[in-house]
Amino acid sequence: MKHRSPRLKSWILFMAVIGMLLGFGPGAGSLLAAEKIIKIGTIFPLTGPVATAGQRCQAAVQTAVEIINNKHPEIKVPLAKQEGILNGYKIVLVHADSQGKADVGKAEAERLLNQEGVWALIGSYNSSVSKPASFVAERMKKIFMCGSSSSAALTQRDMKYFFRLAPTDATESVDFVEVLKWVNKKKKGSVKTIGVIYENSEFGKHAAEEAKKAAEAGGFKVITDVPFTPGATNLDSEVQTLKKANPDAVLGAVLGADYSLWVRTMKKANWKPRIIINYCSGYQDPVITKQLGADADFFMGSSGYSPQFASLMPAVAAVEKIFMTKTNGVPFDGNSIQEAVAMLVLAQAIEKAGSLDTEKVVKTLYENTWDSPLSLGGKVAFAKGGQNIKAQSIVTQLQRGEYRRIYPEKMADGKIVFPMKPWDKK
């Protein structure tokens, strides 16, 4: 008998690994096809600069599915008291990683729909990924539920199968300008000038455009406009540009780790405007806030949820318990909770339609107002184009590490600290 050389053996091993890779590749999950299941695909950035946010969004959808598939009498959200939907159908999730890249997100949407045979898609956090991925779904007449992407352009495409839960950056911009007017009136703030800092992406650019539009309509003057490349390693020149212009207020669209860098760079430059308000961004991320410690205080932003909203949304606590088992104890944030809502509303629509006929479910989604205890305001309803017209957010301010509700006043649980305290006076 001939002995194979060690070199040949190692190559055989290597090729075996490749073979395993290909053999167990996409399609392996099709064994489940015969069961009474509904496959839903998720596409989130599980790797890359906003991976932690993407992973929490994925965990939120998993949490919603756990509630839908199993009996949870202790949880006060629709479908929790029953097991499955449509008389015993269970939802099975098939996850994909967009890496935060548009082309990867699009390819994964195609794979999930064609190869894995998912019935609908949920995703994709980054607006720049949601756009092409939902385009694929629209072409294939499949539902795309978008929890947290905030670019207003997404729901201006007149798509039939696209539904977005979060408020858009257009509505948030109007809210921010209202806050500035309120500060001027209430605190004699004399905020007149605004600076905008944003990541140069679909999300950031749109947010900045909407901010400028709303600011001008509200009588404020935008005196500086500072874009930066996402994933930047240095924001010194951007902060210096802001400092030089010295606007009274800054509106920020800064995601993930860039947000920490921005805050720390402002501290290094020893500069702060009188007020800073952030779009859904690193500001909302409880992990980033914790990392920044006291430096995160007095920044403001809009949010659909934070643990301090518990009294407004009592049903969240029990759901959050399940969620936190999947995130090493990190609670919901304004983005991840919207993804859970997306899954729950879709399941309610399937149940109400009594069918897995996509057209019927789409019609049902449009025609009804949905109970949503995980949403601020408790309701979800979609307008033509797929925007949730009941979407609400509260403008909060971080004070001693806690998100204090500031505006609207009727929902407030704290008083605004205005102007922001300087870095050396905390």
**Residue (22 or 34) nearer to another protein, CB:** 22
Q: Are 269 and 417 contacting, i.e. CB atoms less than 8 angstroms apart?
A: no
Tell me how far, at minimum, the Cβ of 182 lies from another protein, in Å: 31
Report which secondary-structure segment, H or E, holds 122: strand 120-123
**Residue (17 or 31) nearer to another protein, CB:** 17
Tell me how far, at minimum, the Cβ of 108 lies from another protein, in Å: 7
User: What is residue 271's DSSP assignment?
Assistant: -
**Contact characters 402-421, another protein, x per CB under 8 A:** --------------------
Q: Is the dihedral of CA 144, 149, 154, 155 positive or negative?
A: positive
Q: Which of 1, 3, 18, 244 binds another protein (CB under 8 A)?
A: 18
Tell me how far, at minimum, the Cβ of 58 lies from another protein, in Å: 7
Helical ranges in 187-306 per DSSP H: 202-217, 236-245, 256-268, 286-292
Name the segment binding another protein (CB under 8 A); options: 49-57, 72-80, 351-359, 389-397. Answer: 49-57
CB-based contacts of 303: which residues, under 8 Å, 6+ apart?
280, 284, 309, 333, 334, 393, 394, 395, 396, 403
**Residue (146 or 376) nearer to another protein, CB:** 146
User: What is residue 124's DSSP assignment?
Assistant: -
In the block, which residue shows the tokens 């798509």? 159
Contact flag: residue 31 with another protein (CB under 8 A): no
Secondary structure (3-state) at 107: helix
**Residue (285 or 297) nearer to another protein, CB:** 285
Site size toward another protein, by CB under 8 A: 49
Q: Which of 167, 189, 195, 204 binds another protein (CB under 8 A)?
A: 204
Q: Are 271 and 134 contacting, i.e. CB atoms less than 8 angstroms apart?
A: no
Tell me how far, at minimum, the Cβ of 130 lies from another protein, in Å: 11
Q: Which of 2, 3, 24, 293 binds another protein (CB under 8 A)?
A: 24
Report which secondary-structure segment, H or E, holds 357: none
**Residue (46 or 344) nearer to another protein, CB:** 46
Contacting another protein within 210-239 (CB under 8 A): 227, 229-230
Q: In what order do the strands lie in the sheet with 193-199?
A: 221-228, 193-199, 249-253, 275-278, 300-303, 394-399, 402-407
What is the rounded distance in angstroms from the CA atom of residue 167 to the CA atom of residue 367?
Answer: 20
3-state helix, strand, coil in the chain (%, to 5): 45, 20, 35
Q: Which two tokens stand for residue 109?
A: 């949407």
**Residue (154 or 215) nearer to another protein, CB:** 154
Q: Are 130 and 146 contacting, i.e. CB atoms less than 8 angstroms apart?
A: yes
Q: Which of 4, 14, 317, 321 binds another protein (CB under 8 A)?
A: 14
Contact flag: residue 6 with another protein (CB under 8 A): no
Q: Which of 70, 76, 92, 110 binds another protein (CB under 8 A)?
A: 110
Name the segment binding another protein (CB under 8 A); options: 197-205, 267-275, 357-365, 381-389. Answer: 197-205
What is the rounded distance in angstroms from the CA atom of residue 79 to the CA atom of residue 344?
Answer: 8
Tell me how far, at minimum, the Cβ of 116 lies from another protein, in Å: 9
Q: Which of 17, 190, 293, 410 binds another protein (CB under 8 A)?
A: 17
Q: Which of 72, 164, 206, 404 binds another protein (CB under 8 A)?
A: 206
Q: Are 151 and 202 contacting, i.e. CB atoms less than 8 angstroms apart?
A: yes
Q: Which of 63, 80, 91, 106 binds another protein (CB under 8 A)?
A: 106
What is the rounded distance in angstroms from the CA atom of residue 298 to the CA atom of residue 415?
Answer: 11
Contact flag: residue 142 with another protein (CB under 8 A): no
Name the segment binding another protein (CB under 8 A); options: 76-84, 132-140, 312-320, 330-338. Answer: 132-140
Secondary structure (3-state) at 157: coil
Name the segment binding another protein (CB under 8 A); options: 195-203, 214-222, 243-251, 345-353. Answer: 195-203
DSSP 366-407: HH--EE-TTSTTSEE-B-TTSBBTT---EEEEEETTEEEEEE
In a 10 Å sphere around its CB, with 0-12 CB exposed, 13-18 middle and 19+ buried, how is residue 37 labelled? Answer: middle
Contact flag: residue 128 with another protein (CB under 8 A): yes
Contact flag: residue 131 with another protein (CB under 8 A): yes
**Contact characters 76-105, another protein, x per CB under 8 A:** ------------------xxxx---xxxx-
- Residues forming the site for another protein (CB under 8 A): 10-11, 14, 17-18, 21-22, 24-28, 42, 46-47, 51, 54-55, 58, 94-97, 101-104, 106-108, 110-111, 114-115, 128, 131-132, 135, 139, 153, 200-202, 204-206, 227, 229-230
